[in-house]
């Protein structure tokens, strides 16, 4: 690494230790109408176009030509009340309850399939397996901070993550009882992450929290120049704004098997695997110094040799000059897209009633440490510490034909959060176990089927106190302690036409 200024070197090391830079990767199962209404427990049934996602082996149950599409709207709601920092507190961190900025996310999906032979189905599915985002106002620089330029936007914690999968798929009936399916995926994705990190003032030295604030470098300067004003409490931490944007692509595979045990019971197994999403993008970083001209005036009188040279003296003075210092550099990263595998059962209890059970595992532990590598000499590799864990989703669903053309559907599923407390962040829309109640109506007449589905996503409140902050070696919080309250509502309209 080439020689950099001492202040910038410290800041670059500190910034990357914060959580949340890519922590909004959220798995989406809002694909199709019947499947969603049945609690996304569809691997064992898989008898409409959405099988291209849940279990491609089920596509052999389609007609000669099938066209399907769905559009989901996801509306998350929530609030976050930050806990005060237990080590080197700052008034810039809001400690009142803050509401999540209202947003509605659109989740489109579609599929087109045909039978070139009696036992073979070919087609194309397009869907969004991951995505969503959040927007918060958590940092506000007070008047005593003294910087008139400040943060570039009000909602400084912003995340948006979009992944689209284009999947050509084949399904084949090996026998009357067994079918298999295989899809090859091209994935394109983009992400934007903005956040403000309150790093330690480079004059501060890490100490035990209970001993209070000791400023070793500053104390040394004060012993030489007693007229140098003391650091105020707000100057313990320095605001640094980071904006990361990037896009990239990956490939994947979706495999499935569907076996008819008897006329009533079927079992389905499927798995989705993706290579890492190879992102290329840019980090825009702005150091936001304090405005304290009294300190600037006194520091100008201190000889350069006290700071080990004129350059370092000017950089130290720049910490209190109140003028923003922007930098920008290109980066690349391999972002893991987790593998998912699951098994499902479908039971035809009566000619009018279908019941399903489903269990699936997702390899979120692949989100351990993610390196952001600079493309330009003179910058360090930045490591995002996520430490996520694998999750299991368990669900059940039912479909009951009320009349010849009308069905009612319902379901329930639950999945734990992949994020541990030590890296929790308000960019995570499921900070605790998620319970989802689903339901819908299905209308089918002739070659046309239409489904309207609703999902109610429920969470218990989650609370972490000041003592639950995880600090790195430089006293930078690696998580966001506080009180989390979340819920979400999903409405999906889907249709299928058999030609």
pLDDT tens, residue by residue, 364-408: 998 888 888 999 888 888 777 788 899 999 999 999 999 999 999
DSSP state of 56: G
- Residue % of the chain over a pLDDT of 90: 65
Model pLDDT, residue 27: 59
Tell me the domain boundaries of the chain.
Answer: 6-289+324-453+464-498
Checking if the pLDDT of 450 tops 90, the result is yes
The pLDDT mean for the chain works out to 88
- Residue % of the chain over a pLDDT of 70: 92
Model pLDDT, residue 28: 63
What are 287's strand-pairing partners? 240, 325
Checking if the pLDDT of 2 tops 50, the result is no
Residue 128 binned pLDDT confidence (cut-offs 50, 70, 90): confident
Checking if the pLDDT of 179 tops 90, the result is yes
Rounded to whole angstroms, how far apart are CA atoms 156 and 162?
19
Residue 293 binned pLDDT confidence (cut-offs 50, 70, 90): very high
Q: What is the pTM of this model?
A: 0.86
Checking if the pLDDT of 468 tops 50, the result is yes
Model pLDDT, residue 9: 35
Q: How far is CA 362 from CA 101, 223, 269, 450, in A?
A: 29, 58, 14, 30
The better pLDDT of the pair 383, 276 is held by 276
The better pLDDT of the pair 496, 209 is held by 496
Checking if the pLDDT of 236 tops 70, the result is yes
Q: How far is CA 205 from CA 88, 301, 316, in A?
A: 11, 24, 15
User: Which residue has 């979400």 as its token pair?
Assistant: 488
6-289+324-453+464-498: CATH topology is: Porin (2.40.160)
Rounded to whole angstroms, how far apart are CA atoms 54 and 12?
43
Average pLDDT over residues 182-188: 95
Q: How does pLDDT run across 306-361, given as a tens digit for each residue? A: 888 999 899 889 999 999 999 999 999 888 888 999 999 999 999 999 999 999 99
Average pLDDT over residues 234-255: 92
Centre a 10 Å sphere on the Cβ of residue 82 and count the other Cβ atoms it contains.
Answer: 22
Average pLDDT over residues 206-223: 64
Q: Whose CA is closest to 274, among 222, 227, 336?
A: 336
Q: Whose CA is closest to 51, among 74, 33, 65?
A: 33
Rounded to whole angstroms, how far apart are CA atoms 114 and 66?
6
Name the range with the highest mean pLDDT among 230-239, 258-267, 276-285. Answer: 258-267
Model pLDDT, residue 215: 65
The better pLDDT of the pair 315, 485 is held by 485
């Amino acid at each position: 690494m080439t020689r950099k200024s001492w202040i910038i070197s410290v800041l670059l090391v500190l910034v990357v230790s914060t959580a949340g830079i890519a922590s909004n990767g959220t798995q989406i199962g809002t694909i199709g109408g019947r499947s969603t209404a049945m609690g996304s427990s569809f691997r064992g049934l898989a008898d409409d176009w959405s099988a291209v996602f849940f279990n491609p082996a089920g596509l052999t149950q389609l007609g000669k030509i099938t066209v399907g599409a769905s559009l989901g709207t996801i509306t998350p709601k929530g609030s976050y009340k930050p806990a005060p920092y237990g080590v080197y507190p700052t008034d810039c961190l809001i400690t009142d309850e803050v509401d999540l900025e209202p947003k509605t996310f659109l989740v489109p999906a579609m599929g087109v399939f045909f039978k070139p032979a009696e036992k073979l189905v070919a087609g194309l599915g397009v869907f969004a397996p991951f995505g969503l985002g959040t927007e918060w106002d958590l940092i506000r620089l007070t008047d005593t901070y003294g910087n008139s330029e400040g943060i570039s936007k009000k909602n400084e914690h912003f995340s948006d993550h979009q992944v689209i999968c284009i999947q050509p798929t084949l399904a084949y009936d090996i026998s009357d009882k067994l079918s298999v399916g295989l899809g090859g995926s091209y994935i394109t994705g983009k992400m934007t992450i903005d956040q403000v990190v309150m790093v330690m003032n480079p004059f501060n030295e890490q100490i035990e929290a209970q001993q209070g604030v000791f400023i070793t470098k500053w104390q040394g300067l004060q012993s030489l120049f007693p007229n140098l004003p003391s650091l105020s409490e707000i100057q313990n931490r320095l605001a640094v704004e980071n904006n990361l944007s990037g896009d990239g692509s990956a490939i994947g595979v979706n495999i499935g098997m569907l076996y008819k045990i008897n006329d009533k019971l079927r079992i389905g197994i499927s798995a989705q695997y993706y290579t890492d999403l190879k992102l290329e993008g840019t980090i825009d970083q702005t150091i936001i110094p304090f405005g304290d001209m009294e300190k600037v005036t006194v520091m100008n009188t201190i000889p350069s040799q006290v700071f080990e040279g004129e350059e370092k003296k000017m950089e130290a003075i720049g910490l209190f000059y109140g003028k923003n210092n922007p930098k920008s550099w290109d980066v690349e990263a391999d972002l893991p897209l987790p593998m998912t595998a699951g098994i499902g059962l479908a039971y035809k209890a009566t000619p009018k009633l279908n019941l399903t059970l489903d269990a699936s595992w997702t390899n979120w532990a692949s989100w351990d440490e993610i390196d952001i590598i600079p493309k330009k000499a003179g910058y360090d590799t930045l490591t995002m510490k996520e430490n996520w864990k694998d999750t299991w989703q368990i669900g059940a669903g039912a479909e009951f034909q009320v009349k010849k053309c009308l069905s009612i559907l319902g379901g329930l599923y639950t999945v734990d959060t992949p994020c541990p407390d030590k890296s929790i962040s308000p960019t995570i829309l499921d900070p605790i176990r998620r319970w989802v109640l689903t339901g819908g109506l299905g209308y089918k007449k002739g070659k046309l089927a239409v489904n309207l589905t609703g999902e109610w996503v429920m969470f218990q409140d989650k609370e972490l106190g000041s003592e639950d902050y995880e600090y790195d070696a430089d006293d930078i919080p690696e998580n966001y302690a506080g009180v989390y309250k979340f819920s979400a509502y999903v409405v999906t309209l889907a249709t299928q036409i058999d030609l």
